[in-house]
Amino acid sequence: MNFAGEDRYSRQERFYGIGAEGQKKLAQAKVLIIGAGALGSACAETMVRSGAGKVTLVDRDYVEWSNLQRQNLFTEQDAAERIPKAVAAARRLRSVNSSVEVEGIVADITAEEIGLYTRGIDLILDAADNFEVRMIVNDIASRDGIPWIYGACTGSYGISMTIVPGQSACLHCLLDSVPAGGDTCDTAGIIGPAVQMTAAYQTAEALKWLSGNVSALRGTLVSFDLWTNRHSSVDTAKLKRADCPSCGAKRTYPYLSPDSHSRTAVLCGRDTVQIRPPSQVRLDLEEWERRLSAYGRAERNPYMLSLTLDRHRMAIFPDGRVLVHGTGDPAEARSLYHRYFG
Amino acid sequence: MKLYINGNETELDEACATLADLLSRPEWKERRMIVELNGMIVGRDDFGTVLLADGDRIELVHFVGGG
Ligand SMILES: [Zn+2]
């Protein structure tokens, strides 16, 4: 079946900023979305519906019930079956627009591997949930000259900025180091409209860039609070630093060096710690299900293995990553990890 | 002196003289900020030397990480 009839993009082509020419450019565009959670869902849906050529999503997590309130690509069945977000999102997106090439990759973004995903990409949409990943994105974008659009939200607040290498200040110009968990964690909860608004700012900029409307880009750091009705738009051009380690004259791309990345990450507001294996591995989940079922209830789907213990639960991925649920303490998580994985 | 922080009228004692002093207050301390003073952006290196004056309008934009 082919639903890509002539009428499909008619409303977008009628829009003065895009037109048939802009639509053609969009259809050639390859977009990478970092994260397939709330922002990733919203950004991906807009890009796929609008007819981008290819959309790739990379996400390390799986769907849980607490996601459904705001992550608009997922269903109750995805949560019940603990489907990885990248898989569930790609499935849904393909059914929304079969003429777009959609790729869903279940993986963590690391300094070593991000280059695999950014090759040939025209634009990166940031839908990550932490600054460690954003700094890696910022460095590779600067190195390879790929524009990227920072977006983040918490509570009723959201913020976004478009970073064009060689022109704008970069994220490292604005932040001299990775902010500590405290001020960026989503412990404040979040409402769906804050997600949609942030994603709207991001995808509007993406449509401008990809349809060839560079002069229409906003050029400011925008932020808003939908509960207190505040809005601000700040010109950050003057914050571009000549000595920035990521985009300055003597740039070294510090976040692309492997040792800048920690193996243990506390997932914000989730009572969960992620542990990465010390080296690249490929786990046979069936074999591990057999081994681990002696210690607790082991359940497996094609993408991950879940082990329920007395006070914790572990989600084990084929790439060797383990999410330890039920603790926010990295030391406790590591000791559990070592008990079962050596 | 009277300041307008993100549109809200805020009364500050005289001890709070520079931007750095303002940003060291507990409600802002742990946050990463972009600061605009009367419509002009202020670089991080200047926080300690920029003096605040009565009637200043300050826009504080803080970074968040959630997605
Ligand atoms: Zn920079």
pLDDT digits (tens, 9 = 90+) for A155-187: 999 999 999 999 999 999 999 877 655 445 556
Q: Encode pLDDT of A238-252 as tens digits.
A: 999 999 999 999 999
Q: Kindly give the distance from the C-alpha atom of residue A148 to the centroid of ligand 1, in angstroms, as a whole number.
A: 13
For A159, B60, B61, B62, the CA distances from A225, given in Å and listed in that order, are 9, 13, 11, 11
- Give the integer Cα–Cα distance in Å for B67 and B62: 15
Q: Is the pLDDT at A284 greater than 50, yes or no?
A: yes
A335 or A297, higher pLDDT: A297
Q: Which of A41, A1, A63 is nearest to A306 (CA)?
A: A63
pLDDT > 70: percent of chain A: 94
Q: Collect all residues of chain A within an 8 Å Cβ-Cβ radius of residue B62.
A: 159, 183, 223
Given CB atoms, is A342 within the 8 Å cutoff of chain B? no
Which of A100-109, A271-280, B39-48 has the largest mean confidence? A100-109
CA of A243 to the centre of ligand 1 (A): 8
Confidence label for A53 from pLDDT (cuts 50, 70 and 90): very high
Comparison of pLDDT for A266 and B30, the residue scoring more: A266
% residues pLDDT > 90 (chain A): 80
In this predicted model, which residue has the larger pLDDT, A207 or A110?
A207
CA–CA min distance A340, chain B (Å):
31
Q: How far is the CA of A139 from the centre of ligand 1 (A)?
A: 9
- Residues of chain B positioned with their CB less than 8 A from the CB of A126: 67
Neighbours of B55 (CB within 10 A): 10
pLDDT given at position B15 = 66
Q: What is the mean pLDDT of chain A?
A: 92
pLDDT confidence bin for A259, thresholds 50/70/90: low
Q: What pLDDT, on a 0 to 100 scale, did the predictor assign at position A1? A: 46
Look up the ipTM and state it.
0.89
- Dihedral of CA atoms A167, A171, A176, A182 in degrees, nearest 10, equals 160
* Cα angle, residue A190 at apex, residues A141 and A136 outer, rounded to 5°: 15
Alpha-carbon distance of A2 to A323, in angstroms, equals: 40
Whether the CB-CB separation of A34 and A125 falls below 8 Å is answered with yes
CB contact under 8 A, B66 and A40: no
**HEC states along A123-154?**
EEEECCCCHHHHHHHHHHHHHHCCCEEEEEEE
What distance in Å separates the CA atoms of residue A288 and residue A82, rounded to the nearest whole number?
Answer: 18
| pLDDT band of A194, cuts 50, 70, 90 | very high
Question: Beta strands of B18-62 (E only): which ranges?
Answer: 33-37, 40-42, 57-62
- CATH number for B2-62 (one of 3.30.360.10, 1.10.240.10, 3.10.20.30, 3.40.50.460): it is 3.10.20.30
Cα A149 from Cα A129, distance rounded (Å):
14
Six token digits for residue A210: 């990809």
Q: Which two tokens stand for residue B41?
A: 């952006």
SS3 B4: strand
Partner-chain contact B32 A183, CB within 8 Å: yes
Question: What is the structure's pLDDT at A44?
Answer: 98
In a 13 Å sphere around the CA of A252, the CA atoms on its Cβ side amount to: 6
Residue B5, classed as helix, strand or coil, is strand
Per-residue confidence band for A260, with pLDDT thresholds at 50, 70 and 90: low
pLDDT attached to residue A12: 97
Least confident range of A149-158, A199-208, A332-341, B15-24 = B15-24
Burial zone of B50 (CB within 10 Å; 0-12 exposed, 13-18 middle, 19+ buried): middle
Least Cα distance to A56 among A31, A21, A78, A35 occurs for: A31
User: Is A84 near chain B, with CB under 8 Å?
Assistant: no
Tell me the domain boundaries of chain B.
2-62
The side-by-side arrangement of strands in the sheet containing A297-300 is A264-267, A272-275, A322-325, A313-316, A305-308, A297-300
Domains of chain A: 10-259 (3.40.50.720), 262-341 (3.30.310.10)
DSSP A179: P
Query: Encoding tokens for residue A173?
Result: 């110009």
Residues 6+ apart with CB under 8 A from A146: A118, A121, A122, A123, A124, A140, A165
| pTM of the entire predicted model | 0.89
The residue behind tokens 């609070």 is A225
**Average pLDDT of chain B, as a whole number:** 88
* Residue type at position A291: R
What does the alpha-carbon distance between residue A173 and residue A35 come to, in Å, rounded to a whole number? 23
